[in-house]
Amino acid sequence: MEGFASSSSSLTVGLCLLLLLNASSSSHGARLFDASSSSSPTKYSQRNGLALTPPMGWNSWNHFGCNINEDLIKQTADAMVSKGLSSLGYQYINIDDCWGEPTRDSEGNLVAKSSTFPLGIKALADYVHSQGLKLGIYSDAGTQTCSKRQPGSLGHEDHDAKTFASWGIDYLKYDNCEDTHGLSPKKRYPIMSEALLKSGRPILFSLCEWGVENPATWASTIGNSWRTTGDISDNWNSMTSRADENDKWASFAGPGGWNDPDMLEVGNGGMTTEEYKAHFSIWALVKAPLLIGCDIRTMDSAAHGILSNKEVIAVNQDKLGVQGKKVRSENDLEVWAGPLSGHKVAVILWNRSSSKATVTASWSDIGLKADTVVNARDLWTHSTISSVSGEISAELESHACKMYVLTPHS
């Protein structure tokens, strides 16, 4: 389609090469790989078969930080099912930092914190699996995690990967704190990548090196998603800046490997309902992982309505897997768009200005031929405008958006 890179080129442009062992360069005794040193690029998803569409689920960090325990995780799994979110594709229940004891046991194992996870992670995984969901966990490519409350996995990658597999873990978020040896993420992250593949269990690998070494250009051979930004906060400026930072890497995302502008803040209270709609719309269009970051047990109806919008989710989960991008911006009036399967186009009209304004997307902006006639499906009002030609416009309140799927007439 005009105006967009093809799905095949978006999967291959700039991808780095497979990993070579570099044992001699380690100052801590661990094996080191260099993500840019091999000659046969193979997408990580071809090796573990995961994340062919962006992962969907929940993560504990944005709302709870270190205040987590096994009852919270169980109750969140229960709520994911009872509130109908699991049936929409949300499947991962991800424990973030602060789940472990401050030291390993006598055999070198990571240990769940006895005061907050007394039954251990294996029992918790069994419970989450019994609900038809998957359990994720957190570790770090350094000597400690970012909270400094538990050990990282640097130098223990094989051991920890086998531990996670034995517990029934399905997803690993791997952070980038406490690299006391000053090693590039390109050397540290591939070690855990390979360890997970050898663990005996398919485990989705989510790199969280905050975009410091442009992981979009090399991480598709290492993992299933990679953070392109620093941490998000629950406010308008943080959310919009993460969207902009992530946008420039659009051509590197595709089935099995996704750009990650960080987790969702919808429902945490720092933005308006319209701002949260824009947040969710943009994350869906750019094929970001949809990881809920609020307390889904107590979220209000507005947050639930946003997070459970089937039509917006369908854009995120579209099988073509091409990341949408910003195609027009003038005076904080923006058009974002991307191709979908079936020759459809997803379009967001976004008013980022401080006053009401009309935003217009012309067909030339979004890759449609000038004479194309479409039906425009409004994904938030769930209504259809028939036989639209040339352009589509909407008058929008400050910080509000409209999201459409355009279906050309045959």
Q: What is the set of active-site residues?
A: 175, 231
In Å, how far are 24, 40, 150, 195 from 144, measured between CA atoms? 23, 33, 6, 18
**Tally of CB atoms within 10 A around 187:** 23
User: 346 — phi, psi (to 5°)?
Assistant: -95, 135
Residue with tokens 């570790």: 139
CA dihedral 123, 222, 44, 167 (to 10 degrees): -10
Measure CA of the first residue to CA of the last residue in the chain; give whole Å: 15
Q: Which of 174, 247, 251, 253 is nearest to 207 (CA)?
A: 174
Give the separation between CA 344 and CA 393, rounded to whole angstroms: 18
Give the separation between CA 262 and CA 292, rounded to whole angstroms: 10
CA dihedral 409, 286, 19, 197 (to 10 degrees): -90
Give the separation between CA 260 and CA 110, rounded to whole angstroms: 27
Give the separation between CA 285 and CA 259, rounded to whole angstroms: 12
Give the separation between CA 267 and CA 257, rounded to whole angstroms: 27
**Cβ neighbours of residue 56 closer than 8 Å, sequence gap 6 or more:** 88, 89, 90, 91, 92, 289, 290, 291, 313, 316, 317
**Tally of CB atoms within 10 A around 275:** 20
Q: Which amino acid is at 69?
A: N
